[in-house]
Chains A and B, each alone.
Chain A
């Protein structure tokens, strides 16, 4: 009896934690507010194009292995597709499809002239050599090349892909196209058309979002204790930049554990420690705590910047923060979101809060198209301009529709795409 109850509970939790169902729910709520009819909903939810490719690769041991890759182009109404390429064993078409739609909304919230795309290759990069990864990347690039292009589809790094992967893509495309085409991909090294400020971009966007949201809550950075889940590219850099802005960072974590000091953590020292040791463990200026308790610490701002589904119906009641800034993708379930917003907690949703990364990717594409490169100051100031503007639009929308920031962000995003759809009309 009790186990049956637990199973039902698990099933409910599984559904709550399905990020694609969450997104579909977010889409439909926003579409209801916008009064969109069935036809347009179907157009906006169906990917424009899905490509599946087989990639035979000669492995280092002489054997030939055939990998499967995907590229999904969700929507090109607002411009060429933009979205990452991930290498992982559990890549599947459903996931790539959902993530591509996510990119459409993310690009639209911050008003970048892109639609959404996503790609992936089923492989386990941890078991592959650099040579095998290079051959796989080049084969994948050639296989999807006909639907790629600076004006068609512009990939970027994602899970297990990095600057090096992007350099191979740029090289392969350029050699096939017989012309240097830096704007084919973003997240490249600086030496071949990368942008200043890209590595810090997502963390910087999180910091800017926090600054804007703090004004709604009526707090100043000096009065705000911040708990950051994560310490990597988003959490670590976000914490560092917030520390510089005057916030008091009281807790950080990594995959091995969490640290806490209510008087504030010396974040630059933590980053130095991380660079040396690879983990937070052993950092002297704070006490170790149970990572499960981290999210429930007494604080004003919570920045979940690690993985999805960290805040669910199970712990939402115990969250003490007044402001949540979603650094990660999907850290708060829809049910938890509602519980928190009913209590007056302000949540800056992922598609807005962590859009700093794609925004600087957009800057990289712009710079590559003209062949002229901006200083880091210019990149940062333009990023701030876009984040502040987007935040204010989403905030206005939330007041207008009497909804939380998450629903407001989807309303903004979907309305923009729907407007273009009506303008451009149907082909043929």
Chain B
């Protein structure tokens, strides 16, 4: 007993500090997230019954994952899957592997996925799952056994027409493959469409790796058209140089756009005449960071970078990059949210008052979720789409979502973010009402 708890301490897990039930006051992430939908619901005059349903998860599953680690010790890890609303179809959502996993964050994320799928017009409800373990402190074999036990324990609640897993930070394509393999083995069939983000070799989809960036590029085009900004000669600052920011910079640069700024955790590069993006990305590929990239550009710190001059700012890195402290100094004429929640709620209001449109994350970074959906469809039919088809259909989906949000914006005279929420709540409520209350 003693050896076990001391080992837990080695793992960086303090037994007493394990949060098993969330705090249920109004400051929880879920409550905060839902607050932004209250206005949409009120504006739509949503029936109270429907709204009460939307305020809770359909199902919250907590499971224990007993595992013998490679070092010989035995642990029971906590696993969760929270399924928010299945009105529009099976659940779809990420798997989070983190030491500080909180149920309420998953609850918020699951609901957020419901709204996101609804806005993007794809037939899923939202879910989110997690395993509370520090992936840096266990072996690959440990992680595999934990993940497989997790998937096996959820058989019956997950699968292609029940709940589909999407990748997340530590739940990469390898983890997705383990889940798919476990579900397939238990169900005695090839359940490719039970997870997305798979490598091409195991029924993944073309266009997957840079889907979020592709989606951002499409939204940027639509937004420029809508706000009468000429794409030609547009100066763009991108915060983040990884999968999202880096790919977006590459796509925009190849398309002849001027990237005046790009940053990562190490530094921020800025040049009002435009940066040599291919060279910068090659440098980052080689060195792992932007710092030290040679050239005549300016080097800014992260704070100055956010408020540096440009036409469009695309924050693709962290939450609350634009906050009430710097929103007044923002020089961009438009912000497109590449990351999850890069503009804080208060900053959002300030920017709205300043007349700077913010294309909200829930719409702008939807390319990844749409590609997950496309992968699921291809797995169901067994037919892989060609690259051109994937992109053409991605454009169509983003365009439809954009049009719906703009229509709601004009109808209700609200910000893009509020309009997106209105579209989401309306679509989910419509499906829930049609299906009725099952008994």
Query: 1/0 per residue B121-148: CB within 8 Å of A?
Result: 0010000000000000000000000000
User: Which residues of chain B have C-beta atoms less than 8 A from A373's C-beta?
Assistant: 123
Distance (whole angstroms) from the CB of B169 to the closest CB of chain A: 27
Give bound CA distance, A171 to B159, whole Å.
18
On chain A, the residues within 8 Å of B365 by CB distance are: none
Query: Cα distance A370–B89 when bound, in Å?
Result: 13
* Inter-chain contact B436/A168, CB cutoff 8 Å: yes
Residues of chain A in range 148-198 having any CB-CB distance to chain B below 8 Å = 163-164, 167-168, 170-172, 175, 178-182, 188-189, 191-193
- B435–A168 touching, CB < 8 Å: yes
Does B156 lie within 8 Å of A180, measured CB to CB?
A: no
The interface-forming segment of B32-40, B309-317, B325-333, B373-381 is B373-381
Residues of B within 8 A of A179 (CB): 90, 159-162
Decide if B431 is an interface residue (CB 8 Å cutoff). Answer: yes
Task: Answer yes or no: B87 CB below 8 A from chain A CBs.
Answer: yes
**A176-223 with Cβ < 8 A to chain B:** 178-182, 188-189, 191-193
Given A168-B435, A168-B436: A189 and B161 within 8 A (CB)? no
* Interface residue A256 (Cβ < 8 Å from any Cβ of B): no
- In the complex the two chains form, is B436's CB within 8 Å of A193's CB? no
Bound complex: CA A178 to CA B160 (Å): 11
Q: Let me know if A369 is at the binding interface, CB within 8 A.
A: yes
A175 touches B123 (CB 8 A): no
Q: Which among B156, B376, B431 is the interface contact of A191 at CB below 8 angstroms?
A: B431
Cβ–Cβ contact A167 & B161, under 8 A: no
B377 CB contact (under 8 Å) in A164, A167, A370? A370
Contact of B435 among A170, A369, A370 (CB under 8 A): A170
Q: Which residue of A lies closest to B125 (CB)?
A: A180
- B430 — nearest CB in chain A belongs to which residue? A191
Q: How far is the CA of A138 from the CA of B439 in the complex (A)?
A: 9
Tell me the bound Cα distance from A295 to B438 in angstroms: 48
Report the separation of the CA atoms of residues A182 and B88 in the bound assembly, to the nearest whole angstrom: 10
Collect the chain A residues with CB atoms within 8 Å of residue B123's CB.
182, 193, 371, 373
**CA of A134 to CA of B434 in the docked complex: distance in angstroms?**
11
A170–B161 CA distance with the chains assembled, in angstroms? 13
Task: Given A171-B438, A370-B381, check contact A180 B162 (CB 8 Å).
Answer: yes
Is the pair B380, A192 in contact by a Cβ cutoff of 8 Å? no
Contact A192 B377 (CB under 8 A): no
Give Cα A406–Cα B186 distance, bound, in whole angstroms. 53
| Given known A171-B436, A180-B89, contact A369–B380 (CB-CB < 8 A) | yes
Q: Is the CB of A192 within 8 A of B376?
A: no
Question: A178-B162, A189-B430 are known contacts. Are A371 and B376 too (CB-CB below 8 A)?
Answer: yes
Q: At the interface, is chain A mostly helix, strand, loop or mixed? A: helix
B417: interface (CB < 8 Å): no
* Given A181-B161, A370-B381: A167 and B434 interface contact (C-beta under 8 Å): yes
Instruction: Give, as a whole number of angstroms, the nearest-CB distance from A135 to chain B.
Output: 9
CB <8 Å contact, B434 and A164: yes
Cross-chain contact A372 with B377 (CB below 8 angstroms): yes
Chain A residues with CB below 8 A from B160, complex form = 179
Chain A residues whose C-beta falls within 8 Å of the C-beta of B87 in the assembled complex: 191-192
Q: B253 at the A/B interface (Cβ < 8 Å)? A: no
- CB contact between A175 and one of B373, B427, B431, B438 (< 8 Å): that residue: B438
With contacts A180-B161, A180-B162, A181-B161 known, is A163 near B434, CB below 8 A? yes
B86 within 8 A of A: yes
Contact A134 B377 (CB under 8 A): no
CB distance from B426 to the nearest CB of A (A): 10
Per-residue CB proximity of A270-300 to B under 8 Å, as 1/0?
A: 0000000000000000000000000000000
Residue-by-residue, is B353-392 near A (CB-CB < 8 Å gives 1, otherwise 0)?
A: 0000000000000000000010011001100000000000
Per-residue interface assignment for chain B, residues 87 to 101, with 1 indicating a CB less than 8 Å from any chain A CB and 0 otherwise: 111100000000000
- Are B89 and A171 neighbours in the complex by a CB distance under 8 Å? no
Known: A179-B162, A371-B123. A192 touches B434 (CB 8 A): yes
| Chain B residues, Cβ within 8 Å of A370 | 377, 380-381
Residues 79-118 of chain B, each 1 if its beta carbon lies under 8 Å from chain A, else 0: 0000000111110000000000000000000000000000
Given the contacts A178-B156, A370-B377, A371-B123, A189 and B438 also touching, CB distance less than 8 Å: no
Chain A minimum-CB-distance residue to B90: A180
Q: Which residues of B contact A181 (CB under 8 A)?
A: 161
B366 to nearest A CB, angstroms? 17
B-chain residues with CB within 8 Å of residue A164 when the two chains form the complex: 434
Write the chain B residue with the least CB distance to A179. Answer: B161
C-alpha gap A164/B438 in the complex (Å): 14
- Taking CB atoms, residues of chain A closer than 8 Å to B156 are 178
Which residues of chain B are near A369, meaning CB under 8 Å?
380-381
By a CB distance below 8 angstroms, the chain B residues around A193 are 89, 123
Docked Cα-Cα span, A92 to B305, in Å, equals 76
A371 CA / B383 CA spacing, docked (Å) = 13
Contact B90 A192 (CB under 8 A): no
Residue of A nearest to B159 (CB): A179
For residue A366, which residue of chain B has the nearest CB? B381
Docked-complex contact B434 and A189, CB < 8 angstroms: yes
User: A30 vs B88: C-alpha distance in the bound complex, in angstroms?
Assistant: 46
Which B residues, 392 to 439, have Cβ-Cβ distances below 8 Å to chain A? 427, 430-431, 434-436, 438-439
**Closest residue of B by beta carbon distance from A175:** B438
Q: Name the residue of chain A whose CB is nearest to the CB of B122.
A: A371
Pick the contact of A192: B159, B381, B435 (CB < 8 A): B435
Report the minimal beta-carbon distance from A31 to chain B, rounded to whole angstroms: 38
Set of chain B residues within 8 Å of A188, measured between Cβ atoms: 434
Verify B380–A371 contact, CB threshold 8 A: yes
Q: Which of A171, A172, A191, A373 has the most CB of B within 10 A?
A: A191
State in angstroms the CA–CA spacing of A371 and B90 once bound together: 11
Minimum CB–CB distance from B26 to chain A (whole Å) comes to: 31
- Is there contact, CB below 8 Å, between B88 and A191? yes
B86 and A371 contact, CB distance less than 8 A: no
Q: Complex Cα distance A189/B89, Å?
A: 13
**Complex alpha-carbon distance, A192 and B161, angstroms:** 13
Residues 365-391 of A contacting B (Cβ, < 8 Å): 369-373
Q: Closest chain A residue to B381 by CB distance?
A: A370
**Chain A residues near B159 (CB, 8 Å)?**
179
The 5 A-B pairs of least Cβ separation, nearest first, read A179-B161, A171-B435, A167-B434, A191-B431, A372-B377
Q: List 5 A-B contacts (CB under 8 A).
A: A170-B435, A180-B86, A180-B90, A192-B88, A371-B376
Please name 9 further chain A to chain B contacts, defined as beta carbons within 8 Å, in addition to the given A179-B160, A192-B89, A371-B123, sorted by A numbering: A163-B434, A167-B434, A167-B436, A180-B161, A180-B162, A182-B89, A188-B434, A369-B381, A370-B377
